[in-house]
Structure 1
Amino acid sequence: MISKLFDPQSVALVGASTKQGSVGYVILENLVTRFKGVVYPVNPKYDEVELWGRRIKFYKSILEIDAPIDAVVIATPAPTVPKILEEAGLKGVPVAIVVSSGFAEAGNVELENWTKAVAKQYGIRVLGPNCIGVYNAYTNFDTIFLPADRAGRPPPGPLALISQSGAVAAAIMDWAARRKIGLGLMVNYGNKIDITEVELLEAFAADDRIKVITLYIEGFKYPGEASRFLESVRKIVPKKPVVVYKAGRGRAAQRAVKSHTAAMAGTYEMYHGLFQQAGVIEASSVREMFDMAKALAYQPIPRGKRVLVVTDSGGMGIQAVDALEALGLEVPEVPESIANELKRELLPFAAVSNPIDVTGSATDEHYKIVLDTLLPTAFFDMALVVTLMQVPGLTKNLAEYIINSKKYGKPLVVVNFGGSELVQKFEDILEDNGIPVYPTPERAAKALWALYKYAEVKRKI
């Protein structure tokens, strides 16, 4: 039944509006102009209106719709929600997304409990209230009430996001859209009077479109949720990685969590221990969560933690080694016999010990020589490649050599820094072919650490 939450064929929008800028207007525009299914706007104020170049029929209530409805989106004042859910129950609607706010997060616990009771009486699964709902990039089912010109919609892709905060979810979507990160599914669950992050995790784990699940969490709400989370996620992570960012770590932040989504923040140490037991990969920021998720979605998991560093900048190479070693990864020296071979092929002043510095006089072919010589060997499990394209001997053809290195079956990430058209084109080619690109060695190193961490988790669980 919960699958109707992400992939409905027909949707009723209660609170649909013709008033520009209103919540009901934005959601209606999303659904009417892009959604691939059938939309039934519900608002007793209207009969038929002209919007977006088409005639749109409005219904007085859900009960007036003479067709099956997979999901109802409710965007009306909080006190009206229980009655609307009752009508949805009489209609046989299996899933409701309650966008409306003004429940327990605003002190109206009794109203929230009443809403929950009505939904339970009629067997309706409820997402929310106080949420922005669902975004499905594959079908354009989109209940986000923020205009697309302000909050971008990312393209389809292998990442899924579950977020306790609606504003954070929207900001992540906008950020992902600007960077062309494939965020296929997003759900914000708000006050979670019914559907929880555990059920959402299990649904995404069973979805073949999704390779990595990301989770932004502020705190569990009910007793027993932590144990259910642990039990569920331990079954998921051997199949798919789960990357979590827990907000609300300090005492003041925990107060904010309680007022935001009526959740119990708990101590950060408790959550940290829970994540370690569950086998999730923990991020320290939203950006880091997606840096790691991007690598996990497109790169193979490594056999070990030995990293080859190739760079055309000695300084960047040193930074990369510092970052890798700080994370517990290894940067072993190149064996002498292979180092001698590289000396014959590279420029006389190139450094061949690891990091391998092909220098600012490098050409595309120098990178190819290093990668083709060392990646097939058993001495390295992963590679971090720094490509400062300001070097005159490099061209966008270098991307082809790096992409071809995928044949060795080892994780590879690239550090590419700059703002020129060449830099951007080079980065786009790599990303389009599944090679994650990062602007700093530290971020690239953390991505490789996530791959190694997930390999360790799979071995243990």
Structure 2
Amino acid sequence: MSVGLDYLLNPRSVAIIGATAREGSVGGVITRNLLTKFRGRIYLVNPSYNELLGHRVYRSVLEIPDEVDLAVIVTPAPTVPKVMSECVAKGVRVAVIISGGFSEVGEDGTRLEREVKEVAQGRVRILGPNCIGIYNAFNGLDTFFIPQVRMERPRPGPIALISQSGAVAAAILDWAARRSIGVGLAVNYGNKLDISEVELLGALASNENVRVIVIYIEGLKYADEGRKLLEVMRQVTRIKPIVVYKAGRSKSSSRAVKSHTAALAGNYEIYRAMLRQAGAIEVNNLMDALEVAKALATQPLPRGNRVLVITDSGGAGVQAVDNVETVGLVVPELPQDLRNTLAKSLPPFASTANPIDLTGSATDAMYKFVLDTVLPTDHIDMVLILAQMQLPGMTPKLADYIIEVRRFGKPIVVYGISANEEARTFKARLEEGGVPTYDRLETAANALRALYEYAVIRGLARPH
């Protein structure tokens, strides 16, 4: 990781330039966020105050007596060049410019942006401008300026998010928090005057807390960025998976991209080919990106594309097969000798071909028997379990059985739409035990597809 990015993600000290206690303001939210959560040293800077929220306030970053690793700038755009010159003089390592009013608003803003970069002289690395910055659940660094009551923060976890859009990043983190998906790091880079997704990818590749990187990208700012992004993605995907949602696919949305962050959306088919060459896994929306990442972060990679489907509903089993095979995986019929073994201990009306339908008489013990019998064989590579907790024979204890069979080293995902208390307990136990759960069959199938796709990328499975 470059020195600048190390101080961006893991600073020892942070100066908030434009700190305020004003309720509802950007600076006010950031000030409170950092004072209450950040585990390093905090310095407040604002020439209009001597004290805020019980803390001393400095007139300038130059007055701070200690070293400053990271400056968070929340002042009007025209003041940023002067603030940046003071950061340079102070020896600040990296700055997050939250302020908008730069290249995204036109030529005047572009000139101002160039001025900030010239002042920084490469001595201060810059994230932004026009961004919401950093969320690090591990050290409490949180510059996302949306109050907690309007945007829940996700728990620490193995997923990292890089987003070109701040609002999109905030919305998806709130969504993840409400579904207890662990997102430990999130970065919004805005206009990427300096630090871009290319460098951020490299930094996250070496971060031991991160197992999967999710990227929301609208467009690249310069012509040679595509080549650089391809190169770094190829390197990173040898280490850990990258899941990408590329927005701005149509002509109309491409225009919207340019007005949003002054980026060039470009031809989507070119992006798609680039992502394929890089070994990145592409999805069609950000919710699927995080759901897929959840499986990639917790499950072993399969050796092939054969899926075992176990269900307590024949109709749901049929839908599961449709979804699984639509994404390019297969649901093979089990051999007769294995079916005979299953039939000896299952009710006579159960189907044993695959999908294995235990019907409405399903019990925890039946699921356990099927898993213990089929998973050790070489007939399947992955498992999709459909389990509805409304049935009288089903209990949350099934989660313990499913977690136990992780010992066979095959990926498992679980689908269920029940919303009763037992179903919530069942899903919570599975998630805590490292087994992802889904409430849409399409998403569960996409998670399995991503596992297989990444296994092919890593050379652990053959393409079919």
The TM-score by the shorter chain falls in which range?
over 0.9
Letter in 2 for 1:75: V
Distance across 2 between alignment mates of 1:66 and 1:208 = 32
| Alpha-carbon contact 1:248-1:257 (below 8 Å) kept | yes
1:82 has 2:85 as partner: no
What amino acid is aligned across from residue 117 of structure 1 in structure 2? E
Q: TM-score, normalised by structure 1?
A: 0.98
8 A contact 1:89–1:122 mirrored in 2: no
- 1:299–1:460 CA distance, 2 compared to 1 (3 A): closer
Alignment partner of 2:360: what SS?
coil
- SS at 1:245 equivalent: strand
Q: Is the 2:303–2:460 Cα contact (8 Å) retained in structure 1?
A: no
Matches within 5 A, 1:62-141: 62-107=61-106, 108-119=109-120, 121=121, 123-141=123-141
- Matched ranges for 1:293-372 at <5 A: 293-372=293-372
Please state whether the residue corresponding to 2:384 is helix, strand or coil: strand
Give the match's secondary structure for 2:114: helix
Once the two structures are superposed, residues 164-203 of structure 1 have per-residue CA deviations (whole angstroms, 9 ceiling, x without a partner) of 0000000011111111111000000000000010100000
Distance 1:444 1:234 in 2: 26
Conserved 8 A contact 1:15-1:24 = yes
Give the Cα separation in 2 of the matches to 1:433 and 1:156.
16
Residue 418 of structure 2 corresponds to 418
* TM superposition shift of 1:418: 1.9
Instruction: Report the equivalent of 2:43.
Output: 40
Please tell me whether residue 24 in structure 1 is matched to residue 27 in structure 2.
yes
Q: Match for residue 207 of structure 1?
A: 207
Counterpart of 1:245, as a letter, is: Y
RMSD of aligned residue pairs (Cα, Å): 1.0
SS in structure 1 opposite 2:383? Answer: strand
* SS of residue in 2 equivalent to 1:123: coil
Shift of 1:258: 0.2
CA contact (8 A) 1:48 1:56 kept: yes
Instruction: Determine the C-alpha separation between the residues in 2 that align with 1:103 and 1:48.
Output: 30
Give the deviation of 1:291 after TM superposition. Answer: 1.4
Once residues 451 and 118 of structure 1 are traced to their aligned partners in structure 2, the CA distance between those partners, rounded to angstroms, is 46
Q: Partner of 1:58: helix, strand, or coil?
A: strand
| Structure 2 partner of 1:280 | 280
Task: Provide the residue aligned with 1:160 in structure 2.
Answer: 160
1:451 Cα deviation from its structure 2 partner: 0.2
Q: Higher mean Cα deviation, 125-134 or 18-27?
A: 18-27
Partner of 2:405: 405
Give the residue type in structure 2 aligned to 1:268: Y
List per-residue Cα deviations over 1:432-461 (Å, max 9, x = no partner): 111000012211111000000001111199
Q: SS at 1:352's partner residue? A: coil
Identity level (%): 54
Whether the 8 Å CA contact 1:294–1:436 is kept in 2: the answer is: yes
1:30–1:77: structure 2 CA closer, same or farther, 3 Å change rule? same
Using the TM superposition, give the Cα deviation of residue 116 of structure 1 relative to its aligned residue in structure 2, in angstroms: 1.3
Distance in 1 separating the partners of 2:17 and 2:156: 27
- In 1, the alpha carbon distance for the partners of 2:324 and 2:180 equals 27
The C-alpha deviation readout for 1:100-123, integer Å capped at 9, x for no partner, is 00000011110011111111x251
By how many angstroms is 1:98 displaced?
Answer: 0.2
Q: Is the 8 A contact 2:281 2:453 kept in 1?
A: yes
1:289-308 per-position Cα deviation (integer Å, ceiling 9, x unaligned) = 11110000000000000000
TM-score (norm 2): 0.97
Give the CA deviation at 1:271: 0.5
**Pairing 1:149-188 to 2, within 5 Å after superposition:** 149-188=149-188
Among 11, 23, 28, the residue aligned to 1:8: 11
Shift, 1:378, TM fit = 0.4
Partners of 1:14 and 1:251 in 2: how far apart? 39
List gaps (5 residues or longer) in structure 2: none
The residue identity in structure 2 corresponding to 1:61 is: S
1:7-64: per-residue Cα shift (whole Å, max 9, x none)? 1110000010121111111000001111111111100111023x2xxx2110000001
Count of aligned pairs: 456
State the distance in 2 between where 1:258 and 1:83 align. Answer: 28
- 1:88 and 1:275 map into 2 onto residues whose CA distance is 37
Counterpart contact for 1:302–1:452, Cα < 8 Å:
yes
SS of residue paired to 2:414: strand
Q: Following the alignment from structure 1 to structure 2, what is the Cα–Cα distance between the partners of residues 253 and 32?
A: 39
What SS does the corresponding residue of 2:155 show, helix, strand or coil? Answer: coil
- Asked if 2 retains the 8 angstrom alpha-carbon contact of 1:86 and 1:122, the reply is no
Cα distance in 1 between the residues matched to 2:21 and 2:373: 64
Per-residue Cα deviation, 1:72-124 (whole angstroms, up to 9, x for no partner): 000000011111011000000010000000000011110011111111x2511
Which residue type is aligned with residue 43 of structure 1?
Answer: N
